[in-house]
Structure 1
Amino acid sequence: MVDLESDSTYAIAGIYSFGRGLIARPEIRGDETAYQRMARLRDGQIVMSKLNAWEGALATVDDEFDGAYVSPEYPVFSVNEKNAYPAYLKHLLAWPGLWDQLTPRGSMVRRKRTTPATLLATCVPLPELAEQRRVADKLDVLMAQHSRAMSDVPSQKALRQVAAAGLDRVLSHWANGTVRVDQVCASVNDTVHPGDDRGQAEEFVGLEHIAPHFGERIGSRPLGDEKGRKFRFAPGDILYGYLRPYLNKVWLADRHGLCSVEQYVLRPNGAMPAELIAAGLRSKSVLDRVLDATHNLQLPRLRSGLLMAMELPAIPQEHREQATAEIEAYSQRVIELEKRQRRRDDLLTVLRPALLDAAFSGRL
């Protein structure tokens, strides 16, 4: 523990939850905190958050954080290297099986703290030092491979950019000039208030039910006691989410329903197939113009006039069937890639705790 001096600065460290290690906080002056004393960390020590230890806020100190400071809310422990191999303990602290033993019981769990005495009294698997080294060395290799696999996975953002940019490539291949949205669509405000006749509508499709960038409906809910006004849509209409338009939520409806008033209902007039209009609205070139028009707004909303004035690729009659088929094939490939990536992400997410379970149960 170090007595803080008011005119001195101190590098502060915190702890991520879920076994993700230490985090560097901004430096502070001694007179900028109510604490009079803090603990100075040393390489190889162990740090715990009293408040969040039960959800994995435990970490070992490495060179990067040697000499950093933590508040009294973060007890610091030395390692007895006669009994414990530091690299083994580093993996042990990332093990959900240990966190489970630290989980407070009863109500108000998030207000309960883990004391140093509780951590020290917790029983953990601790084989002989030679076995600890073997397990730690093997986990080092496996976790490095896991980290590389995680970093090799394209981000959802990157995949969505690919989806939007690919539409531009397909459409530009067949396009001959551009056409304004209001030349191929009309904006329809078929408003339904609570208690009104819903017509043929049987379900509600809101912004939360449309996948960003992929033009795919991912859910709906049955109509019930609806609150507030809604817009009615029909098969062939295009729903465009104008609230937070950077999410690029555009869907070509295949059913009757109601949607939120945060979506524009666009009804194609037959001048161009609805599939090509919807693809154009989701394309990167249109999205970029939308972002330019709304980026400085605190709660981005795209005005209907701006949307209706947007330019879309104009596909000549003789190429529309081919362009539509190519758009459909491309969209299906992107959706399948997204599903595979999601499955891979899920597998990689469960792999890390599975490896730790195997290591600390003697199966590694």
Structure 2
Amino acid sequence: MTDLQSDGRYQITGIYSFGRGLIKRPVIRGDETSYRRMARLRTGQVVMSKLNAWEGALAVVDESFSDTYVSPEYPVFSINSENAHIGYIEHLLKWPELWNRLTPRGSMVRRKRTTPVTLLATEVPLPGLAEQRRVADKLDILMEKIGTMVAISPGAEDACQLAVSGLDQVLARWATGTIRVDEVCELVSDTVHPGDDPSPAKEFVGLEHVESHFGVRTGSRPLGDEKGRKFRFASGDVLYGYLRPYLNKVWLSDRAGLCSVEQYVLRPNGVMPGELLSAGLRSKSTLDKVLDATHNLQLPRLRSGHLMAMEIPGIPRDRHKQAVADVNAFMQKVRTLDNHQRRRDELLTAVRPALLKAAFNGQL
């Protein structure tokens, strides 16, 4: 342990949960903490979080974290090189079964700490050094291959980017110019207070029920004992989330309901169908304008006047049917791609613990 000097500067290190390794925290002065002593990390040591060890907050220290500091809440251990290979231990600390063996029992689990005694008393598979090296080397190769697959393969975030950027291209095929939002819809503020009759609404759709970028409702909740005022919307209205608008939560409703007052209710006036209004509001060109208008705000909110004055692709009436079909076909393809990518990501995520399980059960 190192005695802290009040005017000294110390690079602090923390630990991610779920085997994700160490993280550098801000540099602090010695007089900025109540701790008088901290441990100075060295390459090859093991460090553990007392509070979160049971959910994978353990790691081997690599060179980039050598000479950083951890508080007494992070016990530090040396590896006995005569009995344990550092590469084997590094993989062992990422093994979910080890975390499970460290999990406190009983109530108030999250307030319980894993002590150094508990970690040292926990039994783990430990074959001879030669076998440890073999297992570690094989796991290194396999984990590197998985990492490469993740790095070079498009992920779910790529489908989100395509969902917004591709809409500009689809709409441009049919647009003859631009049109202001307030020329194609009106802003409706049909307010329902607690105790009012919400009819014909039977459910509530909040921002949490709308998926970012895809224009899809992912859920709702039945009405009952509503607190605070809500907006009533009708089938065919477009709901636009103006709180944290970078989330790009825009939904064309297919039912009547209530929504939060953090959403604008836009009612198409017949100049363009709701499908094209919704697509135009979700497109990258519109999202970029929204980000420019709100990026300096601590809690981003898009003013209604700003939204209604924005311009989106203007599509003539004789092209509406084809444009709507084109938008729907494009979004269906993007949603299919997103589903495939999410499934692939889930499978890749599951491969790592499966390999560790096989390795520490003598099956690798």
TM range (shorter): over 0.9
Answer with 134-143 or 37-46: which moved more.
37-46
Q: Secondary structure at the match of 1:35?
A: coil
Q: Secondary structure at the match of 1:107?
A: coil
Answer with 118-127 or 189-198: which moved more.
189-198
Count of residue pairs the alignment pairs up: 364
Q: How does 1:226-305 map to 2 (within 5 A)?
A: 226-305=226-305
Partner of 1:362: 362
Q: How does 1:319-358 map to 2 (within 5 A)?
A: 319-358=319-358
Q: What is the Cα deviation at residue 153 of structure 1?
A: 4.7
Q: What is the Cα deviation at residue 8 of structure 1?
A: 4.0
Q: How does 1:49-68 map to 2 (within 5 A)?
A: 49-68=49-68
Answer with 301-310 or 194-203: which moved more.
194-203
Consecutive unaligned residues of structure 2, counting only runs of 5 or more, are none
User: Given that residues 153 and 341 in structure 1 are in contact (C-alpha distance below 8 angstroms), is that contact kept between their aligned partners in structure 2?
Assistant: no
Partner of 1:73: 73
Q: Secondary structure at the match of 2:173?
A: helix
Q: What is the Cα deviation at residue 7 of structure 1?
A: 4.5
User: Given that residues 188 and 266 in structure 2 are in contact (C-alpha distance below 8 angstroms), is that contact kept between their aligned partners in structure 1?
Assistant: yes
Q: Secondary structure at the match of 1:42?
A: coil
CA distance 1:29–1:292, shift in 2 (3 Å): closer
CA distance 1:269–1:344, shift in 2 (3 Å): same
User: Given that residues 155 and 345 in structure 2 are in contact (C-alpha distance below 8 angstroms), is that contact kept between their aligned partners in structure 1?
Assistant: no
Q: What is the Cα deviation at residue 110 of structure 1?
A: 2.6
Does the alignment pair 1:314 with 2:314?
Answer: yes
Distance (Å, rounded) in 2 between the aligned partners of 1:2 and 1:12: 13
User: Given that residues 58 and 93 in structure 1 are in contact (C-alpha distance below 8 angstroms), is that contact kept between their aligned partners in structure 2?
Assistant: yes
Q: What is the Cα deviation at residue 297 of structure 1?
A: 2.1
Distance (Å, rounded) in 1 between the aligned partners of 2:77 and 2:55: 18
Q: What is the Cα deviation at residue 139 of structure 1?
A: 0.8
Q: What is the Cα deviation at residue 363 of structure 1?
A: 1.7
Q: What is the Cα deviation at residue 156 of structure 1?
A: 4.8
Deviation per CA, 1:202-247, whole angstroms, max 9, x where unpaired? 2222211111111111111222222232222222111111222111
Consecutive unaligned residues of structure 1, counting only runs of 5 or more, are none
Q: How does 1:71-150 map to 2 (within 5 A)?
A: 71-150=71-150
Partner of 1:216: 216
CA distance 1:299–1:84, shift in 2 (3 Å): same
Answer with 54-63 or 150-159: which moved more.
150-159
Q: Secondary structure at the match of 1:23?
A: strand
TM-score (norm 2): 0.93
Partner of 2:173: 173
Give 1:350's aligned amino acid. A
Give 2:276's aligned amino acid. L
Q: What is the Cα deviation at residue 123 of structure 1?
A: 0.7
Distance (Å, rounded) in 1 between the aligned partners of 2:186 and 2:206: 20
Q: Secondary structure at the match of 1:224?
A: coil
Q: What is the Cα deviation at residue 6 of structure 1?
A: 4.2
Give 1:53's aligned amino acid. A
Give 1:326's aligned amino acid. D
